[in-house]
Amino acid sequence: MAAPQEALQRSAELIPQESHDTLQIRGLAREFVASPEFAHYLADAIAQPNAYPYAYMRRLGELGFLAMDIPPEAGGDGFTPSQLAAVIEETSYGGGGMGLVPTVQTTLTSGAIARWGTEEQRTRFLPDMITAKRIGAFLLTEPRGGSDAKGTNLRAVRDETRGGWVVNGEKTFITSARAAFETGGVLLTATRTRQPEPGEDREKGMTFFAIDLSENTEGLTVGQPFDKLGQPGSPLHQVFFKDYFIPDEPNPVMGEVDEGWAVVEAILAHSRNGIAAQAMGIARRGLDEAIKIGETRALYERHLVDLPKWRLRVELMTRQLLIAQYALRRSLAMEEAGHPYAPVGASLAKLAAAEAAVYIANQSLRLHGGSGYINEYSITQVLKDAVVLPIYEGTDVVQENVLYHYGATQDLVDMLYAPSGSVTRPPRNLPPIEEVFAAIDAFEPQPKVDK
Ligand SMILES: Cc1cc2nc3c(=O)[nH]c(=O)nc-3n(C[C@H](O)[C@H](O)[C@H](O)COP(=O)(O)OP(=O)(O)OC[C@H]3O[C@@H](n4cnc5c(N)ncnc54)[C@H](O)[C@@H]3O)c2cc1C
């Protein structure tokens, strides 16, 4: 029988290949992640999980990986979404938090300023963000519920006398928030500037601000880092606004006043491919950890990989990985082609990749036997890093709701999830992988019209 890696290799040939340039960039990132230097940064992050990894981020800046989401005319590398995703996947393979922090610094903040900021905001923030001299954070989630993002309630009220906005309220679960404060960086913040009129969509009346922390910070505080389960090196905080004043000059608004939802939506649509790529890296790592133990540990005088029922589980994990990879490649192609429903493709990719990562990490841990439960093995970290993937950047429910709203069938959505059931027999009614790829290809998003 072929080894699982060979099976993976054969099935991978069905997936659209990356361009030569993307493969080269991926190779550079992979080489860095395999280096003793990266291992040193990771060890620091594990030793101090709630400390911001400044040295690592500065190094990524030197390598050009923080300029990747910024077009050359704004001083960046102008990587394509596929190239950006390749770097995020590789750094996430090294460690979930090591992939998340640069994702926040690129797709959610500097990349957002490059795309949707004013010329002046680009000039003010980007040069120092691509070197990690200034750190960015993205503030959407509020304690009352992240999934209901249109219910944003951080109040920004006009102060005509002083010429600006007075902000009161709280944001929570904000990655990199303290580092943004410590570096005089930037908080990209969704606020409520007016209540929607009766009958008006709740997205109306939101305004999106780029808050410059090198200026006034009076009235702004950041909480102690949350003690979280995984992704060391990506600290998470609350941010409190108490009569915090944002002046009108220089213009702090991204997009239009009261129309900030359009910017939030566009940022998330772009960044969801980044989180899908992060999930791909974590999923691949989980699978490799299983293969590693399978090739070294022996039972009944055979290596685990040579036990057919052990291998069956690895093959199912491989299958989920390939489905996720297919969905992500398709989504990236849609984004690169400027497809009007590319954000829906990103929701599909994020759902598939997050589910694949959790399934693979969990299966991989079980395939280790008891050693999988011991913290000194990498697989415990992989599982701890994976379980948050279906939660942030829109939970599994939020992504499913997007897919159903745009006409996905339940059969398609079900195909994105891992099979469940007995661990020693192949699941029944599992569609061939080619059929799943075809179903993903056949999905042409169309918004449902409310009747
Ligand atoms: C490690 C980490 C990093 C993060 N980084 C950031 C960041 O940098 N910036 C930021 O703004 N936010 C960030 N978040 C917040 C994250 O985006 C939110 O946690 C997420 O959107 C979910 O919101 P919530 O936690 O309020 O859960 P809730 O929205 O309260 O959801 C609770 C449960 O209800 C379910 N649910 C939601 N809608 C429905 C429905 N219609 N029907 C049935 N069930 C439903 C959800 O799927 C979930 O299971 C981060 C979170 C974590 C854990």
pLDDT tens, position by position, 223-277: 999 999 999 999 999 999 999 999 999 999 999 999 999 999 999 999 999 999 9
Decide whether any atom of ligand 1 lies within 6 Å of the 208 Cβ: no
CATH code assigned at 68: 1.10.540.10
Average pLDDT of the segment spanning 323-338: 97
Model confidence at 4, in pLDDT bands (50, 70, 90)? very low
- Mean pLDDT score of the chain: 95
Same domain, 280 and 400: yes
Model confidence at 74, in pLDDT bands (50, 70, 90)? confident
Can you tell me whether residue 259 is helix, strand or coil? strand
Structural domain includes residue 420: yes
Same domain, 205 and 275: no
Report how far ligand 1's centroid is from the alpha carbon of 238 (Å).
14
Same domain, 129 and 162: no
Domain count, the chain: 3
pLDDT tens, position by position, 348-407: 999 999 999 999 999 999 999 999 999 988 999 999 999 999 999 999 999 999 999 999
Counting from 1 in the atom list of ligand 1, the atom nearest the Cα of 104 is 8
pLDDT tens, position by position, 126-170: 999 999 999 999 999 999 989 999 999 999 999 999 999 999 999
Helix ranges (DSSP H) in 130-259: 177-182
- Report which of 139, 119, 118, 137 is spatially closest to residue 129, judged by C-alpha positions: 137
Last residue of a domain, one of 236, 254, 272: 254
Which of 172, 229, 261, 395 has the most ligand 1 atoms within 8 A of CB, as the residue to mutate? Answer: 395
Model confidence at 6, in pLDDT bands (50, 70, 90)? low
CATH code assigned at 227: 2.40.110.10
Last residue of a domain, one of 134, 167, 191: 134
Which of 105, 141, 405 has the most ligand 1 atoms within 8 A of CB, as the residue to mutate? Answer: 141
Same domain, 220 and 102: no
Q: Which letter, b or e, does each residue of 83-116 get, where b requires 16 or more Cβ atoms within 10 Å of its Cβ?
A: bbbbbbbbbbbbbbbbbbbbbbbbbbbbbbbbbb
pLDDT at 406: 97
CATH code assigned at 411: 1.20.140.10
Same domain, 384 and 291: yes
Decide whether any atom of ligand 1 lies within 6 Å of the 354 Cβ: no
Q: How far is CA 347 from CA 31, 66, 262, 397, in A?
A: 30, 24, 17, 11
Same domain, 317 and 192: no
Last residue of a domain, one of 74, 101, 134: 134
Cα(433)–Cα(435) distance, integer angstroms = 5
Report how far ligand 1's centroid is from the alpha carbon of 393 (Å).
7
Range of the domain at 209: 138-254
Same domain, 142 and 124: no
Tokens of 236: 């998470």
What is the model's pTM? 0.96
Structural domain includes residue 7: no
pLDDT at 156: 98
**Residue with CA nearest ligand 1 atom 21:** 146
Decide whether any atom of ligand 1 lies within 6 Å of the 392 Cβ: yes
Same domain, 151 and 117: no
Same domain, 385 and 436: yes
pLDDT tens, position by position, 85-120: 999 999 999 999 999 999 999 999 999 999 999 999
Can you tell me whether residue 245 is helix, strand or coil? strand
Element at 304 (helix H, strand E): none
